[in-house]
């Protein structure tokens, strides 16, 4: 089982769209896949048409009152399940803080799912918090969507620094460009320049596209209704890069 | 664990309006476009996947290929890949399915066992948010594929699949639909397919399981065992000739060896002229198959040889692998010719004619009409005592040849115990066979380690003679291996006394005495 997390300190960068679309592709390729929507905004849960409600809420989950497997919902797609978000996840930091070794709790909760799923994707809320630290402990790799803007680059640098300071040597960080608008000069410059600084970043760029925004209208992954669109093809290419790393054909970093 | 899938037979001629009316009771459905699927079941020749309670199914739907491994009991999917089934499991995409199947299938080839063309209609029951909460799949068997992998079109099947986290609609559907549509639970589709062509799963096993009765005349009992062995040879002949995998030849050779052993150990039951003739011919069959088998064994051992070497030397064995592969190909070609020869065909045909003809009592020895238990026990007891005698005589100073002879004696006893196991209480005889197997394994390893070391030395000379400019690393690696094999042999030699003591412990001796020792009146029989 590989655990990936779509993560960025900054919000609105395409984390949920990436989580949902990559999960759909993993499932389509025959990998039993679970998306855990950790964001109380519940966007991934909305895309999969599932109620944003978890029995016992975040409290029941962290305190181990409910078996994680019993909270999972199948989606419209074979091989693809969802652990929905719950509004109480907004207090997840506090709930984790009640536990001993709080940053290890997510990993502990996910461990029993290893027999059932080949890939788990954690859709993370923005910010850097105790939840984020627990994600860093649980995940094999962070998939970091980066809008080619100055502020987005700054948050990527913050993440890299945090990893180094915390000694998270086993955690791989894979940035990729998201919401790229080639008409903007700044986007062009950053897309050309950043790979020199981060040679291991994924090569695929996800364009800024209305098809991605329309996921909210279709309430479905892009591949299920616009696989041939430019954005659909970009996610497919991104998935190929990720899959090669999951299968060990390419080094993570 | 709760079951998530149920499969029912839909009676042929079920009217679609009736079906739709019943489905409407469940709620609103989304219908997906009907698709054509070619479904092929795969297993090894000896049904390793089925024996483990599963089926391996490849489905082709347009350009999409999906291979899934499912548990038979509850249809649960245990693993899947989006690839075709390869011939050998090593060529399956890396991942959990590969890892799970590799230990099960090992060196055996995955062969198609049944094939069916289907039209598949998929329906999704939706909730208020248009979210799928239940899946229904109607499978319509179209036809088989004009080959020998299937029978007649099958009846319609309805599959009800739960969506995780939505149990209520599933429970409702699985109760309502069978009641309203008079559905009967369907058995495994593979069994139905095979039944159409007169087959059933697990219709081959390399195990020697022949049912005999204690009072059965010895002549009839021997013919029954020999017919079973001949069947095994015939069933493996084509796979061995085509080299589908190395086990066909292995099972073929074991059946030949068992036949020879039975003919030479139980004398005076079959007409001696026939027994002598076929013994000579089966000896020939054993000889012509041995070179290929030896090379198969070394090729199968290569991965473990590599593991025995330091990491830096593991790739150095590649020239040895290339050499063995070339030699195996050459020997296999010769073998294929021999197995297709008139001499081989004549032997098997004449042997079958003999084994299936009525017994002509005038030409059969008197022992043929004696009860098999008496004949079998007399020989088994004698051989058992010899094993004990020879084993007890082995000391720390005994030469290797003493252990080699004991190994052969044990093998004879093992064959006798297996030929006639159905004459004894199953749990008692299987415990004794297991005890003997422990001793045999030890003796076998002691012998094989030396044979392997010698063979590696011979391969080294032959490789050098064939190609003078081979890198020195390969010979160094082979040298390290030879050294390690000799060291293991020394350890195995030290283990012998413990293994033999376990085999010959008083409890086992008492059991064998009770199982095999003939009564005094029987001892007087000729």
Residues A37, A35: Cα–Cα separation, whole Å: 6
CB B446 within 8 A of CB B492: yes
Closest Cβ opposite residue B95 in set A71, A81, A118: A118
Contact partners, residue A166, CB within 8 Å, separation at least 6 = A133, A136
Distance from CA of B59 to the nearest CA of A (A): 13
Residues B186, B8: Cα–Cα separation, whole Å: 5
Q: Does B78 touch chain A (CB under 8 A)?
A: no
Q: Does A67 touch chain B (CB under 8 A)?
A: no
Test the A interface: residue of B71, B79, B165, B167 with most A CBs within 10 Å: B165
CA of B95: which chain A residue's CA is closest?
A247
Specify the DSSP element, H or E, that contains B135: strand B132-143
User: Comparing C-alpha atoms, which of A240, A9, A205 is closest to residue A124?
Assistant: A9
- Structure confidence at residue B324 (pLDDT): 97
Query: Would you give per-residue pLDDT tens digits along chain B (526 residues)?
Result: 678 999 999 887 777 778 888 889 999 999 999 999 999 999 999 999 999 999 999 999 999 999 999 999 999 988 898 999 999 999 998 888 898 999 999 999 999 999 988 999 999 999 999 999 999 999 988 766 555 665 555 678 999 999 999 999 999 999 999 999 889 999 999 998 888 888 899 999 999 989 999 999 999 999 999 999 999 999 999 999 999 999 999 999 999 999 999 999 999 999 999 999 999 999 999 999 999 999 999 999 999 999 999 999 999 999 999 999 999 999 999 999 999 999 999 999 999 999 999 877 788 898 999 999 999 999 999 999 999 999 999 998 899 999 999 999 999 999 999 999 999 999 999 999 999 999 999 999 999 999 999 999 999 999 999 988 999 999 999 999 999 999 999 999 998 999 999 999 999 999 999 999 877 655 433 3
DSSP chain A: -EEEEE--SSSSSSHHHHHHHHHHHHHHTT--EEEEE--TT-HHHHHTT--S--TTHHHHHHTT-S-GGGG-EE-SSTTEEEE---GGGGGHHHHHHTSSSGGGHHHHHHGGGGGT-SEEEEE--SS-SHHHHHHHHH-SEEEEEE-SSHHHHHHHHHHHHHHHHHT-TT-EEEEEEEEE-TTSHHHHHHHHHHHHH-TTS-S-EEEP-HHHHTHHHHTS-HHHHHTTSHHHHHHHHHHHHHHHHHTTSS---
- Percent of chain B topping pLDDT 90: 81
Quick count: other Cβ atoms within 10 Å of Cβ B293? 19
CA distance from start to end of chain B = 62
Beta-strand pair B5-10/B28-31: unpaired
CA of A244: which chain B residue's CA is closest?
B94
Sequence-separated contacts (24+) of B392-400 with Cβ below 8 Å: B392/B504, B394/B496, B394/B497, B394/B500, B400/B446, B400/B450
Closest Cβ opposite residue A49 in set B131, B162, B164: B131
Query: Cβ–Cβ of A72/B95 closer than 8 Å?
Result: no
CB A119 within 8 A of CB A4: yes
Contacts of A80 in chain B (CB under 8 A): none
CA of B123: which chain A residue's CA is closest?
A76
Distance from CA of B140 to the nearest CA of A (A): 21
Residues A162, B13: Cα–Cα separation, whole Å: 67
ipTM of the complex: 0.90
Contact partners, residue B385, CB within 8 Å, separation at least 6 = none
Q: Does B130 touch chain A (CB under 8 A)?
A: yes
Q: Does B124 touch chain A (CB under 8 A)?
A: yes
Q: Does B96 touch chain A (CB under 8 A)?
A: yes
Distance from CA of B34 to the nearest CA of A (A): 17
Query: Cβ–Cβ of B132/A75 closer than 8 Å?
Result: yes
Tokens of B325: 């592969």
């Amino acid at each position: 089982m590989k655990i990936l997390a779509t993560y960025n300190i900054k919000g609105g960068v395409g984390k949920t769209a990436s989580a949902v679309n990559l999960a759909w592709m993993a499932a389509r390729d025959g990998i039993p896949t679970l998306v855990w929507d950790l964001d109380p905004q519940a966007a991934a849960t909305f895309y999969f048409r599932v109620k944003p409600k978890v029995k016992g809420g975040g409290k029941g989950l962290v305190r181990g009152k409910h078996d994680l497997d019993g909270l999972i919902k199948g989606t419209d797609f074979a091989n693809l399940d969802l652990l929905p978000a719950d509004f109480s996840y907004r207090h997840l930091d506090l709930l984790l803080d009640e536990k001993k070794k709080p940053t290890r709790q997510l990993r502990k909760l996910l461990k029993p799912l290893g027999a059932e799923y080949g890939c788990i994707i954690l859709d993370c809320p923005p910010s850097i918090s105790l939840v984020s630290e627990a994600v860093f402990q649980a995940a094999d790799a962070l998939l970091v969507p980066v809008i080619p803007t100055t502020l987005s680059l700054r948050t990527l640098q913050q993440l890299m620094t945090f990893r180094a300071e915390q000694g998270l040597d086993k955690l791989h960080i894979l940035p990729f460009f998201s919401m790229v608008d080639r008409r903007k000069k700044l986007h062009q410059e950053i897309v050309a320049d950043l790979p020199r600084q981060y040679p291991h970043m994924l090569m695929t760029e996800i364009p800024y596209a209305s098809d991605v925004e329309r996921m909210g209208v279709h309430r479905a992954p892009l591949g299920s209704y616009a696989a041939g669109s430019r954005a659909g093809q970009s996610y497919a290419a991104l998935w190929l890069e990720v899959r090669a790393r999951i299968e060990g054909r390419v080094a993570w970093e | 664990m709760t079951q998530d899938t149920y499969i029912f037979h839909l009676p042929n001629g079920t009217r679609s309006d009736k079906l739709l009316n019943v489905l409407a009771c469940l709620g609103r459905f989304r219908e997906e476009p009907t698709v054509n699927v070619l479904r092929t079941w795969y297993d090894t020749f000896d049904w390793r996947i089925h024996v483990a309670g599963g089926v391996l199914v490849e489905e082709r739907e347009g350009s999409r290929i999906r291979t899934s491994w499912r548990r038979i009991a509850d249809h649960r999917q245990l693993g899947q890949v989006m690839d075709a089934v390869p011939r050998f499991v090593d060529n399956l995409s890396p991942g959990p399915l590969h890892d799970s199947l590799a230990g099960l299938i090992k060196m055996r080839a995955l062969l198609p066992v049944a094939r069916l063309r289907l039209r598949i209609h998929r329906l999704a029951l939706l909730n208020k948010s248009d979210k799928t909460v239940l899946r229904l799949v109607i499978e319509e068997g179209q036809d088989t594929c004009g080959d020998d992998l299937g029978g007649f079109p099958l009846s319609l099947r309805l599959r009800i699949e739960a969506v995780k986290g939505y149990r209520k609609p599933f429970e409702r559907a699985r109760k309502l639909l069978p009641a309203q549509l008079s559905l009967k639970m369907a058995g495994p589709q593979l069994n139905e397919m095979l039944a159409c062509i007169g087959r059933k799963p697990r219709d081959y096993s390399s195990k020697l399981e022949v049912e005999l009765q204690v009072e059965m005349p010895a002549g009839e009992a021997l013919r029954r065992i020999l017919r079973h062995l001949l069947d095994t040879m015939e069933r493996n002949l084509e796979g061995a000739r085509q080299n589908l995998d190395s086990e066909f030849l292995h099972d073929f050779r074991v059946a030949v060896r068992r036949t020879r052993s039975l003919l030479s150990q139980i004398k005076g039951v079959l007409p001696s002229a026939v027994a002598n003739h076929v013994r000579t011919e089966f000896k020939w069959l054993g000889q012509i198959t041995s070179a290929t088998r030896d090379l198969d064994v070394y090729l199968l051992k290569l991965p473990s040889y590599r593991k025995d070497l330091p990491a830096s030397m593991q790739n150095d064995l590649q020239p040895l692998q290339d050499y063995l592969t070339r030699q195996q190909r050459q020997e296999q070609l010769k073998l294929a010719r021999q197995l297709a020869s008139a001499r081989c065909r004549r032997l098997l045909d004449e042997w079958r004619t003999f084994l299936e003809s009525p017994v002509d009592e005038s030409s059969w020895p008197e022992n043929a009409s004696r009860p098999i238990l008496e004949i079998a026990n007399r020989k088994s007891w004698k051989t058992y005592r010899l094993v004990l005698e020879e084993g007890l005589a082995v000391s720390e100073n005994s030469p290797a040849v003493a252990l080699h002879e004991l190994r052969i004696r044990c093998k004879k006893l093992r064959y006798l115990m297996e030929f006639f196991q159905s004459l004894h209480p199953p749990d008692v005889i299987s415990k004794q066979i297991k005890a003997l197997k422990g001793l045999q394994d030890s003796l076998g390893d002691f012998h094989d380690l030396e044979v392997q070391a010698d063979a590696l030395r011979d391969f080294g000379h032959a490789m050098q003679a064939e190609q003078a400019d081979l890198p020195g690393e390969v010979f160094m690696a082979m040298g390290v291996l030879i050294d390690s094999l000799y060291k293991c042999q020394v350890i195995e030699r030290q283990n012998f006394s413990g293994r033999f003591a376990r085999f010959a412990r008083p409890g086992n001796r008492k059991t064998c005495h009770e199982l095999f020792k003939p009564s005094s009146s029987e001892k007087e029989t000729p």
